[in-house]
Structure 1
Amino acid sequence: MPDILFSLSDPIAIPVQGQDAVYPVGRIFCVGRNYAAHAAEMGHEVDREAPFYFTKSASNAVLTGATVPYPPGTENFHHEMELAIAIGKPVFQATSAQAWDAVFAYGCALDMTRRDLQIRERNKQRPWDLGKDLEAGAVFAPLTLAADWSPKDGTRIFLTVNGQTRQDATLGELIWKIDEIISHLSRFYHLRPGDLILTGTPAGVGPVQAGDQIYGGIDGLDPVQLTLSDAE
């Protein structure tokens, strides 16, 4: 076997409530425009034919409580609060029942976005990677096992910046529900343990600045927190 030129940093692993073992992050899939009010505030109608996705790199994920620098190349850095699904078993072309059975755990997550770059590239019909897949652009709180928590329509999802509420909705506003997302995504990928799916953000996204403290929660799950320091 040939020598390896250099070692890569290991992706993060997320703590799991009540478990000694941690959940290693493999792939990160994100659902776009999955709350109608958020789609409207971004100037779009919801595509109800099927969900659509973008991805984030596992190496760009961090755990809650991190302090990270305001990212380069943007003047309009946005928060997006999301429910994350952690896949626990292999699933492909899943039925609704198989989709639910594949869920290992749930957690709070932040999808941080260089909005100006996302919009610029979208307007040119280019990929969104510069806007979405940035260093420390996915933030994860500890996971809660699916056996101990399940999403309900009335469950609150919210986010504050420096104590001021920015996002406040319920999971009942999700256009594509948990099993629908997993079933649809599994038509295109062999989903496997380590895969995380961010299910979309409600209305109220907006800019954050260096020095801001971001706090997001979903009732019954551990909250997610992020502090922004000055740009490097």
Structure 2
Amino acid sequence: MRIARFSIDGNVAFGAVEGDAAPGAEGELVLDIIKGIPFADFELSGTKVPLAKVRLLPPVLPNKIVAVGRNYAEHAAELGNSLVDEQGALEPPLTFFKPSTSVVGSGDPITYPPFSQDLHHEAELAVVIGRMCREVPKERVKDVILGYTCANDVTARDVQRREKQWARAKGFDSSCPLGPWIETDLDPSDLTIQCTVNGEQRQLGRTSDMVRSIEDLIVHISEAMTLLPGDVILTGTPAGVGPLNVGDEVAVTIEGIGTLTNKVIKRG
């Protein structure tokens, strides 16, 4: 099931997306409005509205976004980072936070931060947590996942290098586009991830190239903190990250989910 969050006539609701989600067919999609919220038992109301008549919102408003860096070997290499320690052992996953205020939805603008001159795209598979959990064993990870969506871990690369820690570089307003919806029925183990800028392909990878699996990441993260319904885990980006400029349209497409599209604008 594809679950979208949307607004219509000033009201916010969730709906099940019905129809062909292939590129160019979005105008034929309809939303069956959900009774309740998708993080508990819910029913479909049978009341349907065309997707073209609503405004898509970020599919969730997470309490926290836990992001993982250097989870694709080629991406780590392109930025000059090693994945192993001095003894040759694999380093633990590198994790960081993005605040809830960084989240925007598909179709919303990415605002170029005035303190940066080198903004980059990073296409990622995002995991949406479906239930409160802590210290999740590997065999139970699937039980705590609601589904998956597309993400763009937009990064002020010059600030990241200069400040040595990533709070401002990756946490500024609009630095975490999510969407267009959550896909609940998906095997994430080997999906194509693609990023285009103005229609030109920049990134192309597969989730099977992750250094750490989704199961390993959730085990690692939930050892340290409680995950809440709606929390999001960003699983890393494949190689090919590169610059974004004001006026660019950046699109992240993940096999089996759909396309997240945003335009870069100058902060007013």
Q: 2:75 is matched with which residue?
A: 38
User: Which of 173, 197, 203 is residue 167 of structure 1 equivalent to?
Assistant: 203
Distance (Å, rounded) in 2 between the aligned partners of 1:175 and 1:201: 11
Local SS of the residue matching 1:229: strand
Q: Which amino acid aligns with 1:180?
A: D
Distance 1:188 1:112, change over 3 A: same
Q: Which amino acid aligns with 1:77?
A: L
Distance (Å, rounded) in 2 between the aligned partners of 1:207 and 1:130: 17
Q: Does 1:102 align with 2:139?
A: no
Distance 1:15 1:170, change over 3 A: farther
Distance (Å, rounded) in 2 between the aligned partners of 1:185 and 1:219: 25
Q: 2:231 is matched with which residue?
A: 195
- Equivalenced residue count is 214
Local SS of the residue matching 1:24: coil
Distance 1:94 1:226, change over 3 A: same
Distance 1:208 1:23, change over 3 A: closer
TM-score by length of 2: 0.75
Equivalent pair of 2:70/2:83 in contact (CA under 8 Å):
yes
Q: Does 1:215 align with 2:257?
A: no
Within 5 Å, give how 1:105-144 maps onto structure 2. Answer: 105-122=147-164, 127-144=165-182
Equivalent pair of 2:133/2:228 in contact (CA under 8 Å):
yes
Q: Does 1:60 align with 2:135?
A: no
Shift of 1:169: 0.6
Distance (Å, rounded) in 2 between the aligned partners of 1:190 and 1:202: 28
> Which runs of 5 or more structure 1 residues have no equivalent in the other structure?
1-12
Q: 1:8 is matched with which residue?
A: none
Q: 2:40 is matched with which residue?
A: none
Richer in strand (by share):
2
Equivalent pair of 1:17/1:145 in contact (CA under 8 Å):
no
Distance (Å, rounded) in 2 between the aligned partners of 1:61 and 1:15: 17
Equivalent pair of 1:16/1:144 in contact (CA under 8 Å):
no
Within 5 Å, give how 1:4-43 maps onto structure 2. Answer: 17-18=16-17, 20=34, 21=37, 23-43=60-80
Shift of 1:185: 0.4
Q: Which amino acid aligns with 2:196?
A: T
Q: Indicate the structure whose relative CO is greater, using CA pairs within 8 Å and at least 6 residues apart.
A: 1
Q: Deviations over 1:64-105 (max 9, x none)?
A: 111233221111000000000000112211111211211111
Runs of 4+ in 1 over 6 A off after TM superposition: none
> Which runs of 5 or more structure 2 residues have no equivalent in the other structure?
1-11, 18-32, 38-58, 85-89
Structure (1 or 2) with the larger CA radius of gyration: 2
TM-score by length of 1: 0.87
Distance (Å, rounded) in 2 between the aligned partners of 1:104 and 1:82: 17
Q: Which amino acid aligns with 2:214?
A: I
Q: Which amino acid aligns with 2:73?
A: A
Distance 1:81 1:15, change over 3 A: farther
Q: Deviations over 1:8-65 (max 9, x none)?
A: xxxxx99664463464321101001000000000101114232121101101210011
What do you get for the CA RMSD once the two structures are aligned?
1.8
Equivalent pair of 1:69/1:229 in contact (CA under 8 Å):
yes
Equivalent pair of 1:91/1:99 in contact (CA under 8 Å):
no
